[in-house]
Structure formats: structure tokens, C-alpha cells
Structure 1
Amino acid sequence: MPTPYTPEQAAPDREIETLHEFDRVIAATGSLSGLRIQSVDLSSRTNVLAEADTEGTVFLGCRMPVEAAARAQAGGALVFPPVPHLPFNPYRAALYTPEELFHGLSDGYPQTPDARSYAWFQHTRSDGDVFSSMLRAVHDDSVSDALDELLTGARVVGVMGGHALQRGSEAYSGAARLGRTLARSGLTVATGGGPGAMEAANLGAYAAPFDDGMLSKALALLADAPSFAPSVGDWARAAFAVTDGWPDGGHSVGIPTWFYGHEPPNPFARHIAKYFVNAVREDGLLARSNAGVVFLPGASGTVQEVFDNATPNYYESRGVPTPMVLVGRRHWTDELPAWPLLRALARERPMASRIALVDEVDEVPAALAQLA
């Protein structure tokens, strides 16, 4: 009889995510009992599976012959097989890379996994099929698990801002310089992963290991494709020209969503946690920004993020409030007056000493340090 599931069995050290890890465990113990084996191709390990103890093992999206799966189940395992004909892997063990999401870009953006996943989402999001909604939930939970593994021990600063900010503008250049400064200070830059201000901050983090001239040259190259509209392909190819010209740039995180399908992920975030459910994505991005959040000028989405972050700070539901720095005095007081409301909410609360409004992006690092 299979061993009943207990929470202790799901500890991170029980997760096997590569064939190398699988072989190492087998060599050391000869047993798979109680492990979670996630999205590993076991097609060449049929004999091993036949001999190993699989009591309480969970196989998530692992490729294996039918007879091997049946034998594992007979030994007490749960087997969740790969789902055919999907443009994404719901059981994925790692975050996306830009190259993975934009694979096949030479044949046109609609042929890429990113575009095909959005098309699948559009087709299934309102069809009422519980199987489709289950696949989305499993995928997003797998992405969250991979994101937590990546960011363990990291000091993360979130940079929020609008997708409409165009390459070639001074504001875009300023956001890129900000990302570079934050990354050089040892922080992990995390953004919403899309175009505009988000891309600029990820670009800056990518440029951090290079001399200052690299960013200036990259900005000049990108200016020839200022926006993802009307051609995502031209916009993405310009970004890949930069990463090809300067390989091995700095790492940062992008956390985009297929909910906003018109926003492609930017290729400068070397780790991409892309979600189907926007609410999970929003909360996850802000919750993981443990070193503070910077809000560049933006519209509805950025305003939402300001108060999504303010709420747990107000109630202290995540402990000590995280620093919040709003950039652009006129924008946040006159055009979209989020600052007066934020300041009123913070009055006589611990978060009052953790919020700041600055005029320019160059003031952000000092403001973050003062609020820390």
C-alpha cells in the first residue's frame, strides 16, 4: 500500500530536477522512496526504475516508457505523465530563459513558445475546462517553486514601471542606469519582466559587469527599435543583438504574465518567471522584493503595484515594512496622485519611515539606503 503523503516529504532536498541528480541519488542509496522527481527525462533509466524502491515517490512530468511508469506505480509511486501537445511544460523545474521563450523567432514571433502559450491561454481561459485551469495552476506553482529556489538568500529590489516607456528616451536611459547601479551594489534586480521601464532596469542589471561605455552603446542599438509595437520581432531581435554582442552579462529576474499578452517578456532578464495568473505574479514579485521596491512613473498597472505593496506594509503582514521609493514628484503628486494617499495611509504607522518620494532615478540608491 502506498505511503500516505506527509508535508515533511516535500522538503526541498527531496526534489530531483536533473538526470545528474537522479543518478547521484541512485548511486548513493539505490532508492527513490519519498522523492519528488520533476520533469526529468528517464527514458534511458528503465532498468534503474525497475529495481529502485519507489514507495511514496512522485514523478511530475517525467518521460519514461509506459511499462516503467506502471512498475513505479505498482511500487507505490504517483506518476503524473507529461501532457502532450502543450506549448509549455506545466511541471517545469526551472525558470524560463529568454532563448527558450523566443525560440523560433526567426520564423516570426507567433511561432515562439511565448506567443503560442499566450494563444493557448486565450483559447482556454474562459472555456470552463477544469483540466486547462488545473494545468495553469500547476504551471504557476512550479514557476513559484523555481523562483524561490533561485532567490534563496538574495537581497532583492523590485523595480516597477510602465511598459510604454520607449527605448531611446532619457527616462529609459535613466531606468537602465538605475538597474546597473542597484546590481553593482550587490542587489538582485527584479521587475515585471515586460518592455519599457521594466526592460530598462533589466538591461541595466545585464550591463553591470561591463564598463560604463557598454550601456551607452547598447542604448544606441536599441533605439532603432523603440517599441514592441507594431513588431515584437524587431524589438526582440534588437535586444538579442545586444546580448549576442556582449555575452555573459549580469543576471536579474523578470516576472511577467501571459494575462497581459500584448506585453512580450524582455530578453535582458536572464531568469524569467512567467505566470498565467496575474494576481499570483503581482503578489509574488512584491513579496520577494525584500530589499525594497522602486516605482518609476507608470499608469494603471504601476498604481496597482504601489498599493499592492502598501497593504502588507500597512498591516505588517510580512513583518517589518519594506522600503518604497516613488520616482517622479510631479507624476505621483499631480498626474497620478498616489503619493498623497500613500503618505496618508502611512501616517502614524511603522511604514511611515519606510516610504520616500524623489525627483530623479539617480536619487534612488541613497533613498533606499536611508530607508533600510
Structure 2
Amino acid sequence: MASSADSTQPPREQRIGPVLRRRSRIQRGTMDQHLLDSRQRSAEYVHEDPWRVLRMQAEFVEGFGALAEVGPAIAVFGSARTAPGSPDYARGVEIGRALVEAGFAVITGGGPGAMEAANKGALEAGGLSVGLGIELPFEQGLNQYVDLGVNFRYFFVRKTCFVKYAEGFVVLPGGLGTMDELFEALTLVQTRKVTRFPIVLFGTEYWGGLVDWLRRTVIAEGKASERDLELFHVTDDVQEAVQLVSKEAADGGRRGI
């Protein structure tokens, strides 16, 4: 019987920073998991934390170095579960293409679905297509339309790079990860940790319930201000989305994160 090494199927892969692991060398868990898992709070683990700080520092250095010359760029977020051929996927391709035509590079999370769609549109339009990937227990890897890719171990380092190198965000329909990026950006703008930059939610039907909840519950109960609804725009029109991020990016310039 042929061994697994002789199989015609490609082996499972795991990429952790510059390291490639296959088969029995694949590690369980992620760096975020090892850092945050309270079950591993032993005296021995505490002594390892200073070394983890150096690894985090290295991720910042590598990320900043790779992205420093990207130029004006817009980050596009959306669900990894968006199916190719679906309306949301098609809109992602259109948005990626239109952003390049407006003079921007396109930055996504580098994964499949809506991220792949935006990268595909950017590449087809002849622009710079960037992917900022993340180490996950279920390995996805960067999609084939990424020209410049950086893989991160830690979510917070990756999110810093998104905000630092994007002039604005376009947010396609997505799940918890998409909302995490959205509310991170809204919080930074609301608290003036960064100079205001455009945040566009694409898809009025999809995002309408969230906007209604913010207005009728969060703002109505005094947990946010009516002015906070002005921190973002909602649209179904590709050209309007591009015009909104283009105008505000030009007015606001770079932020000092």
C-alpha cells in the first residue's frame, strides 16, 4: 500500500510567518491562542512573555516594511463565506476594480469570498492588490489574486496595519470578523485616536438592521450620540461608495496612528 507521502493529493500546509509546516509538523492552536489562553498561565509561561513581545515587534517591523510604499489605499472587508458567482461577490469585484480606477491600491484580509473578489477586481484593473492574512486553526492562505501579501500571527498587529495604511474602509456584507474591523475603525474615529477617514457600508438591506439597532437601542438609551451615525455611510451604489472614500480621503489625508 502506498504511504501518505505518495498520495497524489497535495499535503495539508500551515504557514506561520516565514515557516511552512506540513503533515505531522503542523502545530495545533495559534499564537493568539497561546498568548490569551488562561489555562496556560503558569510560572514557566510568564517567563516566555518577554520573548513573545519581541515576536510581536518583529511582526510590526515586517508589516510596516512591506506596506510602507503601497501608497494611497482603501481596505475592503467582507465575508470569507461569500460564494463566487453570487451578487455580493460580483459587487466585490466591481468595487475592487473601481477603487483602482480611482487611483487606490486595494487591501483586504487576503482570504476567500468577498476579500478574494475585491483583490480580483483590483488585479484585473491593473492595480496593486494587497492581502493581510492571519494565522488560523483552519488554514486558508492568501487568495491567488494577491500581489503583495503579509501573513500575521496576531490579530491586533494585523488590525493596526489595516488602519495605518488604508485611507478608508469599504465594508461588504460579512460576519463577526468583518464587524470586528468595522467597530474597531468606528471606535478609533469616534474617540479621535485617528483623524476621521471614510467608512462605507455597502448593502443597505444587509446593514439596515444594524443601523436601526444603533439608532433605536444604543442611541435611544444614551449609549452613543446621534452624531455617531455620521461616522459612516451606507450605499448600494459602487460609484457612490468610491466617490465617498475618494472625497473624504482627499480631505482628511493621512492619520497619525
The normalised TM-score by structure 2 is 0.72
Cα distance, 1:136 vs. partner? 5.7
Once the 2 structures are TM-superposed, how far is the Cα of residue 205 of structure 1 from its aligned partner? 1.3
State the Cα distance separating 1:120 from its structure 2 match: 2.5
The alignment of Structure 1 onto Structure 2 pairs a total of residues equal to: 221
Q: 1:174 aligns with which of 80, 86, 91?
A: 91
CA RMSD of aligned residues (A): 3.2
Tell me: CA distance 1:263–1:365, structure 2 relative to 1, closer, same or farther (3 Å). Answer: same
Q: Contact (CA 8 Å) 1:303, 1:338: kept in 2 or not? A: no
For 2:176, the equivalent position in structure 1 comes to: 300
Task: Decide whether aligned partners of structure 1 residues 111 and 273 sit closer, same or farther in structure 2, where only a CA change above 3 A counts.
Answer: closer
Q: Which residue of 1 aligns with 2:29?
A: 122
* Alpha-carbon distance change, 281 to 346 in structure 1, aligned in 2, over 3 angstroms: farther
- Aligned-partner residue type, residue 175 of structure 1: G
Are the aligned partners of 1:355 and 1:371 in contact in 2 as well (CA < 8 Å)?
A: no
**For residues 197 and 123 of structure 1, what CA distance do their matches in structure 2 show?**
24
State the match for 2:214 in structure 1: 341
- What's the offset of the Cα at 1:368? 1.7
- Contact 2:14-2:139 at 8 Å conserved across structures: no
CA distance in 1, matches of 2:11, 2:225: 45
Residues 1:286 and 1:123: Cα distance change in structure 2 (over 3 Å) = closer
User: Match for residue 207 of structure 1?
Assistant: 124
Amino acid at match of 1:171: D
Matches within 5 A, 1:1-372: 108-111=10-13, 113=15, 116=21, 119-120=26-27, 122=29, 125-126=33-34, 128=40, 130=45, 137-152=53-68, 154-209=71-126, 250-259=127-136, 261-289=138-166, 291-318=167-194, 320-334=195-209, 337-338=210-211, 341=214, 344=219, 345=224, 347-348=226-227, 352=230, 354-372=231-249
> Which has a greater percent of strand?
2
CA offsets 1:221-275 (integer angstroms, 9 cap, x no match): xxxxxxxxxxxxxxxxxxxxxxxxxxxxx43221121135343321222222211
- 2:169 and 2:30 map into 1 onto residues whose CA distance is 34
Question: Which range is displaced more, 187-196 or 277-286?
Answer: 277-286
Aligned twin of 1:238: none
CA deviation profile, 1:331-371 (whole Å, cap 9, x unmatched): 1113xx1465289546346x82x521102434311222343
Q: Secondary structure at the match of 2:110?
A: coil
The residue identity in structure 2 corresponding to 1:365 is: V
Give the TM-score of the pair, scaled to structure 1: 0.52
Looking at structure 2, the residues matched to 356 and 123 of structure 1 have their Cα atoms a distance apart, in angstroms, of 35
Secondary structure of the residue that 2:92 maps to in structure 1?
A: helix
Query: Which digits, 9 at most, give the CA deviation of each residue in 1:117-166, with x for residues without a partner?
Result: 89325277549475876666544433322332333362121101010001
The runs of 5 or more residues in structure 1 that have no matched partner are 1-105, 210-249
Question: Which segments of 5 or more consecutive residues in structure 2 lack a partner in the other structure?
Answer: 1-7, 250-257
Describe the SS at the equivalent of 1:304.
helix
Whichever residue aligns with residue 206 of structure 1, its letter is: L
